[in-house]
Structure 1
Amino acid sequence: MTSYDDAWSDEEPTMSEASGIRYLHFGTEWVQGAMRVRRPAELVLAYTQQMMAWLLFVAPQKSHSVGILGLGAGSLLRFTLKHTPASVETAEWNPAVTAMCRAFFRLPSNDRSYIDHVDAALWLEKPHNIGRYVALMVDLYDAQAQGPVRESLEFYQGCHRALSPEGGVMTVNLFGNHESFPRNLANIRAAFEGPVLELPEIDAGNRVVLAFRGPVLEATTGQLLDRAAAVEQVCGLPATRWARHLLEQLRQGGA
């Protein structure tokens, strides 16, 4: 297994800003995350909004834990802490990314949040992470931002084990027009052995995929649409559109 230390040794985080939006980079033009300076909890990038689609299937409680693999600019962490009562644990290999986020991206200091500086694949192997999370958001990219740096069957099996057997959802950011997409999709299907659903590809090419553990898909159509309406009202996300798209896939038997 190639370590992040080998793969990312020259990828120090950099920053740019335009039109009131601050962007995180790894020394290239590719955007690794973004924050609207005046509204830091807003999800600026469309794919980060889609990464929250697990909210359609899980109503997070104070006792729940959410996992994030890849800190980026901290967008998913800020949003989850603002809109849910759950605790959040983030795996981020590079401490320099965390330092950048604390200095320039308003990373919250919150007793519900813990950042573990560790390779995501090793994080999944830690005993206290097994069966723990109601949601796992996976967004692992290097400086070229063309395909995930973790994509093996074993990695996705670890993601499945990290989800609560009582009900959990993984969302993962992929690139639909990249050669890695079919390989990732096949490995996710094999690891989760159940329906794998896709949200519509956005203009930038990101395609967010959802996979499930436990009984979270047992909700009726009416219950899912009611949940979507609530998420839309509280979080300002286009959840009803997502729900209808996913329901159509479920009627067709899943991906």
Structure 2
Amino acid sequence: MFEAQPWQADEPTLSELGGVRYLHFGTEWVQGAMRVGKPNELVLAYTQQMMAWLLFLEPSKQDEIGIMGLGAGSLLRFTLKNTQASVETVEWNPQVTAICRAYFRLPDNRRSVIDHCDAAIWVKKRHNIGRFMALMVDLYDAQAQGPVRDSLEFYQGCYGALGDVGIMTVNLFGDHTSFPPNIDNIRKAFAGRVLELPEIDAGNRIVLAFKGPLLNISTQQLLDRAAAVETRYGLPGGRWARALLAQHGAASKVAI
């Protein structure tokens, strides 16, 4: 008897409006977007925030970055265009990869590898342990009712896949029943070393989780780095930095 794969209910579909092409999984929920005239630009605000780890780490060509959930390939295109790091993406639905190659200018780049695999299995593969300086986790299905991988064991696997110093960013829905258990599991997996960015777009809330030596960054150091991120990457680093500083009240440092 034929056994359906989990991804076969998530048939990728397209829409286009105002020069922006959108990826869907057969519903109105947007799974990714690309500005046709500027394919390497991050169109959606939440995808920009997924790069907020750049406030704390600067990738080199020796570094490796992991992406969980290909979507429309936005994070992959941006990372390959703007850094020299190697990137491995895990995507369990090969149809998503195919439609990205056909309609979303998926890069054919020697620094890019796509593994069609369950993310929960992928993080525990031997060659991924201690490998990545940054993990960007965006795992949603057609219904978009919270991440499809969200257990404590999964986030512990993410922790293990980061190098001695690393940061994970995760796309969550702030005003949703999935948020409390996810943030709780992330905090447990990362010993409470978690920062949250303000809710944006259609309820997206990006969480940053840290591994490595404790950070004690002055306000000025963070603002200087934010300015460098704006100049180097064209991302709203200053807005992110001010949001993170607001969480620390009048403190002169961000300790995480």
Q: TM-score, structure 1 length as denominator?
A: 0.94
Q: CA deviation at 1:217?
A: 2.6
Q: Is the 8 A contact 1:57 1:216 kept in 2?
A: no
Amino acid corresponding to residue 187 of structure 2 in structure 1: R
Amino acid corresponding to residue 209 of structure 1 in structure 2: V
Q: 1:48-78 CA deviation, whole Å, 9 max, x = no partner? A: 0000001001100000000000000000000
> Does residue 9 of structure 1 match 2:29?
no
Amino acid corresponding to residue 182 of structure 1 in structure 2: P
Amino acid corresponding to residue 247 of structure 1 in structure 2: L
Q: 1:121-165 CA deviation, whole Å, 9 max, x = no partner? A: 010110111111110000000001121000000000000011111
User: Aligned residue for 2:43?
Assistant: 44
> Structure 1: any 5+ residue segments left out of the alignment?
none
Give 1:51-200 correspondences, 5 Å limit: 51-165=50-164, 167-200=165-198
**Percent pairwise identity:** 71
Q: Is the 8 A contact 1:57 1:217 kept in 2?
A: no
In the alignment, the residues of structure 1 paired with residue 65 and residue 248 of structure 2 have an alpha-carbon distance, to the nearest angstrom, of: 25
Q: Is the 8 A contact 1:197 1:254 kept in 2?
A: no
> Does residue 202 of structure 1 match 2:200?
yes
Q: CA deviation at 1:250?
A: 4.5
SS of corresponding position for 1:215:
coil
In the alignment, the residues of structure 2 paired with residue 216 and residue 91 of structure 1 have an alpha-carbon distance, to the nearest angstrom, of: 29
User: Aligned residue for 2:233?
Assistant: 235
> Structure 2: any 5+ residue segments left out of the alignment?
none
Q: How many matched pairs?
A: 250
Q: CA deviation at 1:235?
A: 1.3
Moved more, 241-250 or 208-217: 241-250
- Bigger helix fraction: 1
User: Aligned residue for 1:249?
Assistant: 247
- Bigger strand fraction: 2
Which 4+ residue blocks in structure 1 deviate beyond 4 angstroms? 250-255
Moved more, 50-59 or 10-19: 10-19
Amino acid corresponding to residue 204 of structure 1 in structure 2: A
Tell me the C-alpha RMSD between the 2 structures: 1.6
Q: CA deviation at 1:216?
A: 6.7
Q: TM-score, structure 2 length as denominator?
A: 0.93
Amino acid corresponding to residue 23 of structure 2 in structure 1: L
In the alignment, the residues of structure 1 paired with residue 184 and residue 44 of structure 2 have an alpha-carbon distance, to the nearest angstrom, of: 26
Q: 1:163-209 CA deviation, whole Å, 9 max, x = no partner? A: 111x1100000001110000000000000003211101014100000
